């Protein structure tokens, strides 16, 4: 009786994209340990999604999730041109431009001519936008500190090492000491629902 050969589980290996992020290329066998780690990450991600949603709830009248994502990128990366911002957000330039226009109305971002190239503008986060990002970050850090404090000390040490290795494999750079205090993260919730809030004076969503 003919039997099909055993199926080997595979996972995608990553190569770096031009922006420094991994991009799928080849496959490699997935070990049981890797499967267990992925399952643990997915479980932990549910906690992070909850923390993200609760921290944004207090600013939902000011920005949407995608607008906050834009502020986080500008706050962490500094001034960039439009094409650079679009690349970092993973959207086309016209979508990034509409996002910036709405955030400009809300006074959460800045736009100025590039002194090195008068044909392009530099986009950055305004003082008000930076305050909003850090306000959300403070709440997230507070909630995460509460969770981490409930862990045994030796398990926290193991978690730090594992997460650093995970971030390195994903192409996420280690933050500088100055960046750590202002770090923020977002959860991309996909297409915004009709209940999503807009920046003041934003007009129709993209």
179 φ/ψ angles, rounded to the nearest 5 degrees: -80, -30
Predicted local confidence at residue 172, as pLDDT: 73
Whole-number mean pLDDT of the chain?
77
Does the pLDDT value for residue 180 go beyond 60?
no
pLDDT single digits (tens) 73-92: 999 889 999 999 999 999 99
Per-residue pLDDT band for 176 (boundaries 50, 70, 90) equals: low
- Please answer whether residues 123 and 75 qualify as being in contact, where contact means their C-beta atoms are separated by less than 8 angstroms: no
- Decide if 11 contacts 23 (C-beta within 8 A): no
CB 112 within 8 A of CB 121: yes
Per-residue pLDDT tens digits for 15-67: 455 445 555 444 455 577 888 888 988 998 899 888 888 888 878 778 888 89
pTM, 2 dp: 0.62
């Amino acid at each position: 009786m003919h039997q099909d050969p055993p199926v080997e589980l595979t996972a995608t290996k990553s190569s770096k994209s031009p922006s420094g992020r991994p991009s799928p290329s080849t496959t490699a066998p997935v070990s049981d340990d890797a499967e267990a780690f992925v399952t643990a990450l997915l479980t932990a991600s549910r906690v992070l999604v909850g923390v993200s949603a609760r921290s944004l709830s207090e600013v939902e009248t000011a920005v949407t999730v995608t607008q906050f994502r834009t502020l986080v990128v500008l706050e962490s990366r500094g001034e960039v041109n439009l094409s650079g911002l679009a690349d970092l957000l993973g959207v086309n330039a016209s979508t990034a431009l509409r996002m910036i226009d709405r955030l400009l109305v809300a006074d959460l971002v800045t736009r100025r001519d590039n002194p090195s190239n008068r044909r392009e503008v530099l986009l950055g986060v305004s003082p008000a936008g930076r305050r909003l990002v850090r306000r959300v970050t403070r709440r997230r850090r507070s909630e995460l500190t509460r969770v981490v404090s409930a862990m045994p000390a030796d398990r926290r040490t193991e978690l730090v090492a594992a997460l650093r290795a995970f971030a390195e494999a994903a192409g996420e750079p280690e933050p500088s000491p100055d960046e750590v205090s202002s770090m923020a993260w977002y959860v991309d919730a996909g297409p915004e629902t009709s209940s999503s809030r807009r920046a003041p004076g934003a007009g129709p969503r993209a």
